[in-house]
Amino acid sequence: MTTTDIKKEILDILEVIAPDEDLTNLDDAVNFRDQLELDSMDFLDIVMELRKRHRVQVPEDDYIQLASMNSTVAFLEPLMKDIVKA
Amino acid sequence: MLSCILSGPLRSRLASFLSFSHQPSNPMPKDFLKHARDRYDVVVIGSGLAGLTSANILARQGRSVLLLEQHYKLGGMATWFKRPGGHIFDISLHGFPFGMVKSCRRYWSQEIADSIVQLDGVRFDNPMFSMWTSFTREDFTNQLIEKFGLAEEKVTAFFDKARSMNFYDDQAMTTRELFDEFFPGREDVIRLLMEPITYANGSTLEDPAISYGIVFSNFMSKGVFTFQGGTDKLIHQMEAELKKSGVDIAIKCDATKINIAGEKVVSVEIDAKGATHTILCDAVVSNANIRQTIFDLVGEEKFDRGFIDDAKAVRLNNSSTQVYMALQEDERLDVKELGDLLFSSTAPTFETEALLSRDITSRTFSFYYPKTRPHAPPRCLIVSSTNANYHDWADLPEDEYAASKKDLCETTLDALDKYVPNIRERVVHVEASTPRSFKHYTHHPSGASFGTKFEGLAVSRALPQQITGLYHAGSVGIIMSGWLGAMNYGVIVANEVDSQLMNNNSRSTGDVERSIVDDVAAS
Ligand SMILES: Cc1cc2nc3c(=O)[nH]c(=O)nc-3n(C[C@H](O)[C@H](O)[C@H](O)COP(=O)(O)OP(=O)(O)OC[C@H]3O[C@@H](n4cnc5c(N)ncnc54)[C@H](O)[C@@H]3O)c2cc1C
């Protein structure tokens, strides 16, 4: 997966988790929490979706890496680069 | 067990309702695990809201899951019972926070979330104040300023502080100290802010302020909500979802032992009423009480000494009594007059010990109107709840126990008459439950209604470090109790189990993985 694919995938997961949120104007550099109404359960949901969809493990200590789109993609890139896009 | 006979004219009308045996009798022993497999990725022990939610999430993550419940009904404390005449009593559906909408939608279904509705009115009535509230931050703020004469900055500062509290904050500060910091000498304010939480989870002024802060900002911010259609509808919908997710469900199956080999969970022994079974598994999520999980299901010899010392120090939360009252078919109550929830007390001040005492001065009344079950024949019911100590009821000889339950019914009707005049003439069915009843139906030691005190959470969290594959999810540590707390804790634990199973390369996810590879290859 390219970084563009990963970003698309994260947006797709966010759409499932936060269906009431408008994601069109999301700023990739700004923390999700400052733009969306997400709580810690939502971040857990992202972690579970990643594991379910791609068997990617995000260790608990790395949950903070999921703060913004940019940091998430940077964190996931090495873990997901070999995944073949479905 | 739950019955309580009234004196006077009601007695004969009630007599036929009072045997508590709505369990269908089984002349032939039946093996409730006949169709189960030999092995599952996860066995979930107990079908309280935490167990149900864990099971659902794990199955959705692709794990094979067996859900065991010793009772004949799913739901644990989230339960109900029926009485002739179309009366359905809910046990723990007094109200929950708004957060349930999101959790139900995410971890169950949109359909389940769609049944959640806000209560119309919540009331307090005690010697210090009488008032209605929508149970929102805005309303509490306004009333604290206008009725209680507090400065707006103080109130805002208090709410902000409560909201900012989290699990990692200082645990030494007690709830009493938190109140004293903001509202010194204001016992009336403490009562307003504390009484509902004490009823919701058994916590007291002596418990850590953070447990109060976390629950308070959840509960007293956006109103109180309920499930339209009743607990029966919720649990039946959840059961259907579980089946859709592929969970195998077995009722009347009592887990008696979790077997450990090489510091790892290997299997669960089950008494399935007609037969005993040993089911192999890689992980167990125990929704049984944390103490029972450690001491009865596993055995203390399997853990480190230090851990066992901590586990022994975990205090159980209090239990409850309830009185269930059904009004005659054509009797109607008015929600505008009574509200849905009434925190009533005749005690001059708010005191934890008084709330637990058998000499009851404080009761929470839940009024149920036809709106609770819009598709059922219209009925009005009232459930009165109090917090209670198990030991006050545990050792009563049977005749004294029966008399105490009768007294509980009588004194409750007396107290209710102030709000519902002539209640004795209007009621067709009255019965009571006690800490013994709660213990009987859920197996919680001492009939604990809300799990354990704060320290239980750390012990629950530490289980998998002691034994690989051993998890507990269920009301614990004050924060993780109530419908929402239990559900969310079920999700948190399910995530950990799923993660551990992936690291172990559990077989069935291997299958999922293979099938994904096959799909990709074929396309
Ligand atoms: C009177 C009362 C009123 C309440 N009111 C409210 C309210 O209005 N709002 C709210 O949010 N919360 C309320 N609560 C609290 C709430 O109901 C509980 O916190 C929550 O339902 C507990 O869920 P749980 O997952 O911890 O499991 P529990 O409901 O405790 O269930 C545990 C389950 O495990 C089963 N089990 C135990 N041992 C075994 C075994 N060895 N093998 C198989 N099965 C086993 C039990 O039979 C039970 O079904 C109330 C509680 C009580 C008692």
Torsion of Cα atoms, B172 then B176 then B180 then B185, to 10°: -160
Best of B495, B504, B523 to disrupt the A interface (most A CBs within 10 Å) is B495
Nearest CA to ligand 1 atom 18: B482
DSSP 8-class letter at B414:
H
Q: Is B474 in the pocket of ligand 1 (CB under 6 A)?
A: yes
Best of A20, A48, A83 to disrupt the B interface (most B CBs within 10 Å) is A48
Q: Is B437 in the pocket of ligand 1 (CB under 6 A)?
A: no
The reply to whether residue B498 touches residue A44, judged by beta carbons under 8 angstroms, is no
Which one of A41, A51, A86 has the shortest CB-CB distance to B498? A51
Size of chain A, expressed as the number of residues it contains = 86
The reply to whether residue A48 touches residue B492, judged by beta carbons under 8 angstroms, is no
Nearest-CA distance B203 → chain A (Å): 24
Q: Tokens 């198990």 map to which residue?
A: B390
Phi-psi region of B185 (alpha: psi -120 to 50; beta: other; left: phi over 0): left
Which one of B491, B502, B520 has the shortest CB-CB distance to A44? B491
pLDDT in tens, chain B (523 residues): 334 434 333 433 333 333 333 444 445 567 789 889 999 999 999 999 999 999 999 999 999 999 999 999 999 999 999 999 999 999 999 999 999 999 999 999 999 999 999 999 999 999 999 999 999 999 999 999 999 999 999 999 999 999 888 766 677 899 999 999 999 999 999 999 999 998 888 889 999 999 899 888 888 889 999 999 999 999 999 999 999 999 999 999 999 999 999 999 999 999 998 899 999 999 999 999 999 999 999 999 999 999 999 999 999 999 999 999 999 999 999 999 999 999 999 999 888 777 778 888 899 999 999 999 999 999 999 999 999 999 999 999 999 999 999 999 999 999 999 999 999 999 999 999 999 999 999 999 999 999 999 999 999 999 999 999 999 999 999 889 999 999 999 999 999 999 999 987 544 444 444 444 444 443 3
Output the CA B69–ligand 1 centroid distance in Å. 12
Best of A44, A63, A64, A83 to disrupt the B interface (most B CBs within 10 Å) is A44
Mean pLDDT per 10-residue run, chain A (86 residues)?
96 93 94 90 94 93 92 96 86
Predicted pLDDT at B15:
34
**Predicted ipTM?**
0.93
Best of A37, A46, A52 to disrupt the B interface (most B CBs within 10 Å) is A52
Q: Is B44 in the pocket of ligand 1 (CB under 6 A)?
A: no
Q: For residues B20 and B405, is the Cβ–Cβ distance under 8 A?
A: no
Which one of B491, B503, B509 has the shortest CB-CB distance to A41? B491
Q: What ligand 1 atom has the least distance to the C-alpha of B489?
A: 25
Which chain A residue lies closest to B490 (C-alpha atoms)?
A41
Predicted pLDDT at B168:
65
Q: For residues B274 and B29, is the Cβ–Cβ distance under 8 A?
A: yes
Q: Is B475 in the pocket of ligand 1 (CB under 6 A)?
A: yes
CA dihedral sign of residues B414, B420, B426, B430? negative
Output the CA B49–ligand 1 centroid distance in Å. 7
Which one of B61, B103, B491 has the shortest CB-CB distance to A52? B61
Nearest-CA distance B392 → chain A (Å): 39
Nearest-CA distance A66 → chain B (Å): 16
B45, β-bridge pairs: B68, B286
Q: Is B51 in the pocket of ligand 1 (CB under 6 A)?
A: yes
| Rounded distance between C-alpha atoms, residue B205 and residue B231, angstroms | 31
The reply to whether residue A44 touches residue B62, judged by beta carbons under 8 angstroms, is no
CA max distance for chain A: 32
The reply to whether residue B495 touches residue A41, judged by beta carbons under 8 angstroms, is no
B492, β-bridge pairs: none
Predicted pLDDT at B321:
96
- Chain B partners within 8 Å of A17 (Cβ): 106
Q: What ligand 1 atom has the least distance to the C-alpha of B366?
A: 8
Q: For residues B77 and B317, is the Cβ–Cβ distance under 8 A?
A: no
| Rounded distance between C-alpha atoms, residue B251 and residue B256, angstroms | 14
The reply to whether residue A48 touches residue B103, judged by beta carbons under 8 angstroms, is no
The reply to whether residue B495 touches residue A44, judged by beta carbons under 8 angstroms, is yes
Nearest-CA distance A25 → chain B (Å): 23
DSSP 8-class letter at B348:
S
Predicted pLDDT at B29:
62
pTM of the model: 0.91
CA dihedral sign of residues B342, B376, B241, A45? negative
Predicted pLDDT at A61:
87
List own/partner pairs for A13-16 with CB under 8 A and 24 or more apart: A13/A45, A13/A46, A13/A49, A13/A50, A13/A53, A14/A46, A16/A49
DSSP 8-class letter at B316:
B
Predicted pLDDT at B32:
84
Predicted pLDDT at B12:
36
Q: Is B210 in the pocket of ligand 1 (CB under 6 A)?
A: no
Predicted pLDDT at B27:
52
